[in-house]
Structure 1
Amino acid sequence: MVADPPYRVAYVIGELGKGGAEYQLYELLRHLDRRRFAPGVFVLAPGGWWVEPIRALGVPVEELPRRGSADVRRLARLRVALRRFAPHVVHTILWSGNSYGRLAALGLGIPVVIAAERVVTPYRAWQVMVERALDRVTDAYLVNCEAIAAWQVERKRLPREKFEVIPNGIDLGRLPPFSLDRRGARSAAGLRRERRLVAGVGRLDAQKDFPTFLRAAAMIAAEFPDVDFLVVGEGEERAALEALARRLGLGARVVFTGLRHDVPRLLAAADVLALTSIYEGFPNVLLEAMATGAVAVATDVGGCRELVTSGETGLLVPPRAPAAVAAAVGRVLRDPALARRLATAARQRVEGAFSIDVMARRTMDAYLRRLDATRAPATVAAA
C-alpha cells in the first residue's frame, strides 16, 4: 500500500454554492474517517454557501478565484496548491473541477486520480475531446447513478470498467420527522394549514423546465380549488416564470420563494413534489421529498427512475409534458390511499438504500482499493 494513513485527499470543485453535488461533498467530508483520510478542498470560485460549513468541520478550503474571463494562470495556481498539499488521492467534481483538477495534477506523481460526474448534461464536442484525453490520467470515475455511467460510456466513449456507481446519501437525522399528515408541517413553516401544496424545487433555469411545472399547475388549479403551488429556488429565468404564472392566471396560488436554506422543511409541508427537469443526474431533492413524505412526481430522465419506481415509490412522467404532470399530480391528490402508500414505500426505500453512512463508506472503500493497487511511492514530484 502507498505509505501509511492518514491519506491526504484533495477535492477539486468549481464552486461551493447551494447545489446537490456541493451538499454531497459536505456530507462526505462530515462522515470521512479522519484516522484514515486527511481532506483538503480546492474551489475554483470565491465564497459559496458551503465554504464556511466545510471549514467548520476542520477541513481547509483554498479558494482560487478566476481573474478575468480566460484566466489560465488559475490552473498554475491550482497546480502549486496541489503540489504543496501533496495528496495521495485527487478527487475532482463536475466539469470545471474535473478538467482543471486533472490537468493541474499532471506530472505531480499523485498516486490516485478520480473524477466524479453528477449529472447527465449536454457536452460540446471540444469538451468530449478533453474528457477523452484526460481519461489516460484518470484511475476511476465515481458517479451517483447507472444513467450517468451509461451516458459517459456512450457519449464520451470512456471505459465502463473504470466507473463505480455510488448513489447519493441523505442524513435522515437532519430532516423533519416523517408524517403522512402534512398540516402540522405547513403550520410550522408559516403556510396555510388547510391548503394542500404542490412544490417545484431547483434552479430556475432551462434544465429544470419550470414552464412545464407552471402549465401543469394551471391545469391542477382548475380542478383542485384547495391546492396551492410553491416554486422554490432562484435563477436567471425567474422574471420570465413569474410573467408566465400571471398569464396562466395562477395569481396568489403560486408563490416564488426564492433561494431557501430550509428546503426539507418546505417539502415536509408539501403533498407532492413535481420535478419537471429535462435532464438530471441523481437529484437530491427527490431523496429529500421521499424521505419527508412528499409524493414524488418526476420526469423519467437520468437517475430519476433509479430512485422512483413508478406506481410504487412515486410516479414517473415524460419530460416536457405538462398534461402528463398534471394527470399524475391529480391522481395523487384525488386518491389519499394512493398518496399514503406511495409516501410510505418511498420513505422505506430511502431508509434502506440511501443513507449518508453507506455513501461515505463506499467512497472511502473506493479510495482504499485504488491506493492498494498502486505501487508508486506516495510522493509528489517537484515542478
Structure 2
Amino acid sequence: MRVLHVITGLGAGGAEQQVRLLCRYSAADSEVAVLTGRGVVADGLVDDGVPVHAIGMRGNRDLRGLVRLVRLMRGGRFDLVHVHLFRAQVHGRLAARLAGVPHVIATEHSLGDRLLEGRPTGRPGLRALYRAAELLGDHTVAVSATTAERMRRWGVPADRITVVPNGVEAERLAFRPDLRRSTRAELGIPADARVVGTVGRLVPTKRVDAVVDALALLPETVGLVVGTGPAEDELRGQVARLGLGGRVVLAGERTDVPGVLAAMDVFVSACPEETYGLGVVEAVAAGLPVAYAACPALEEHPADRAPRTRRVAVDAAAIAAAVTELAADPAAAAREPAPVVEHYDIRRVAARLDEEYARLGRADRPAVPAGEGGTR
C-alpha cells in the first residue's frame, strides 16, 4: 500500500517524530508531504530513505499550495493519505478528495480541553471547521482515550474514532551508561551531579517556567532543559533572575533523545494538559523516575504499570518535593523501563495502524454474493 503522510511542519515535535517512526516501522510504502518548513525531522526522514515533498504553503489561504498538494497526490497514485496536525488535517483531507485518493485517515495529536495547537478551543468557528474537515476523511485515530473523548464532545461520532497511541523506540531509549557519560561531558555537566531535566517545545503552555522555579528550591541540582521555541528568551531571563545560570543548561533543539534522557536522574513534565504525554513515556522507557502534571498515556493504565512516577500540581514546591522523593528511591538507580512501555512499543503501534490501513482498504471491496465464494 502506498501511503502519503501530510503534516504541517517537520520540526522536532512529538507528532513530527511519530511520522518518522511510522515511516520506519510501517509495512506501507510511505512518503511525506510537509506543508510549511522542513525542519530537522525532514532531514532524518531523508536519511532513512523516505521521500519528503516540501509544499511551500505560505498560509491557510494559499490556494497555490493546495494545488501543488493535489498534483502530488494525483501523480503519486497513493492508496491512502494520512494527515497529522490541524492545518494538514484541513488542507490534506481536502486535497485528497480533490485528487481522488481512495482513503483518508487522520491522527489527532493535539486536541486539548482549552487549546488546539495553541488556538483557544472557544475561538468562534473553530469547532465547525474541525468538524467539517473531519467529515472529509474516512476515519480518525486518537492518540489516547482522553483525546477520543474530547473528539466525541466536539461532535465526532464514536464509530469514526479508533484509539491507537503514539509509539516509542523502547530499545533505542533504554539506558546506556556510555551515553550518560558522553552527553554530560558534551553539555558540561559534572559526572556526579544530580540532574533534573525536561524535554519539549518551549512555549508558555508547557510550563517549563515552573520547572525552573522548582530548581531554585533544589540546591546542588543541575537543570537540563532540552528544546526551543518562543518562550526560550523568557526562560533565559528567568534563569538569570533566579541566579541559576551556573546550574541550568538550556541545551536547545536536539535529536539525540536517548542521550539527553540518559544524562538525567529525574524527568519533569509540568504541562497541565496533554493529549498523550510522549516526553513522559520516553522518559519512562529510559528508566527515569518521573514527576508529571498530566499524561493520559500513564493515567489510562494501573499505577503499578508505571512505578517511580508521581502526578504533581503545577507548583514549584510540589515539583521540588516530588523530585526529592523520586531521587531518593533506591530502585531509581537501576534505570529499568516501566512495564507500561511494552504497550507503547513502536512496532506494536505501527502494526495497529497497518491494520487500520488494511481495514479501510477492505471496506470498499464488494461483498461476494452467496454461492459464488469458496476455494477452488
- TM-score, normalised to structure 2, is 0.86
Letter in 2 for 1:210: V
Cα shift at 1:185 = 6.8
Check the 8 A contact 1:12/1:41 in 2, yes or no: yes
SS of the residue corresponding to residue 198 of structure 2 reads strand
Query: Aligned to 1:88, which of 62, 74, 79?
Result: 79
Q: 1:67 to 1:203 in 2, by over 3 A?
A: closer
SS of the residue corresponding to residue 217 of structure 2 reads helix
Is residue 140 from structure 1 mapped to residue 133 from structure 2 by the alignment?
no
Is residue 232 from structure 1 mapped to residue 229 from structure 2 by the alignment?
no
Distance 1:188 1:250 in 2: 20
Distance 1:219 1:199 in 2: 15
SS of the residue corresponding to residue 360 of structure 2 reads helix
Q: 1:130 to 1:95 in 2, by over 3 A?
A: same
Instruction: Give a deviation string over 1:145-196, Cα, whole Å, max 9, x none.
Output: 1111111111x211122111112222233335356x9778745865201110
Distance 2:187 2:272 in 1: 30
Instruction: Give a deviation string over 1:26-46, Cα, whole Å, max 9, x none.
Output: 11111122xxx3222111024
Distance 2:76 2:181 in 1: 51
Give the equivalent residue in structure 2 for 1:210: 208
Q: Which ranges in structure 1 are unaligned for 5 or more consecutive residues?
A: 1-6, 377-383
Q: 1:190 to 1:209 in 2, by over 3 A?
A: same
Check the 8 A contact 1:111/1:374 in 2, yes or no: no
Q: 1:189 to 1:211 in 2, by over 3 A?
A: closer
Check the 8 A contact 1:32/1:364 in 2, yes or no: yes
Query: Aligned to 2:343, which of 348, 353, 364?
Result: 353
Letter in 2 for 1:64: I
Q: 1:166 to 1:69 in 2, by over 3 A?
A: closer
Is residue 97 from structure 1 mapped to residue 88 from structure 2 by the alignment?
yes
Show the 5 A alignment for 1:355-370.
Answer: 355-370=345-360
Instruction: Give a deviation string over 1:73-114, Cα, whole Å, max 9, x none.
Output: 211221122122222211100111111101112244322211
Give the equivalent residue in structure 1 for 2:332: 339
Show the 5 A alignment for 1:22-61.
Answer: 22-33=16-27, 37-61=28-52
- Report 1 or 2 for greater relative contact order, CA contacts < 8 Å, sequence distance ≥ 6: 1
Check the 8 A contact 2:199/2:227 in 1, yes or no: yes
Letter in 2 for 1:289: A
What is the alpha-carbon root mean square deviation over aligned residues?
2.5
SS of the residue corresponding to residue 287 of structure 1 reads helix
Q: 1:280 to 1:308 in 2, by over 3 A?
A: farther
Distance 1:57 1:306 in 2: 33
Check the 8 A contact 1:12/1:93 in 2, yes or no: yes
Distance 2:89 2:72 in 1: 16
Check the 8 A contact 2:70/2:98 in 1, yes or no: no
Distance 1:79 1:255 in 2: 44
Is residue 295 from structure 1 mapped to residue 289 from structure 2 by the alignment?
yes
Give the equivalent residue in structure 2 for 1:194: 192
Distance 1:170 1:56 in 2: 19
Is residue 375 from structure 1 mapped to residue 365 from structure 2 by the alignment?
yes
Check the 8 A contact 1:178/1:293 in 2, yes or no: no
Q: 1:184 to 1:52 in 2, by over 3 A?
A: closer
Q: Which ranges in structure 2 are unaligned for 5 or more consecutive residues?
A: 116-120, 367-376
Letter in 2 for 1:315: R
Q: Percent identity between the aligned chains?
A: 32
Distance 1:258 1:168 in 2: 24
Distance 1:104 1:323 in 2: 49
Distance 2:60 2:360 in 1: 36
Letter in 2 for 1:359: V
Check the 8 A contact 1:90/1:113 in 2, yes or no: yes
Query: Aligned to 1:326, which of 310, 320, 344?
Result: 320
Distance 2:240 2:194 in 1: 21
Cα shift at 1:301 = 5.0
Aligned length: 356
Distance 2:96 2:299 in 1: 35
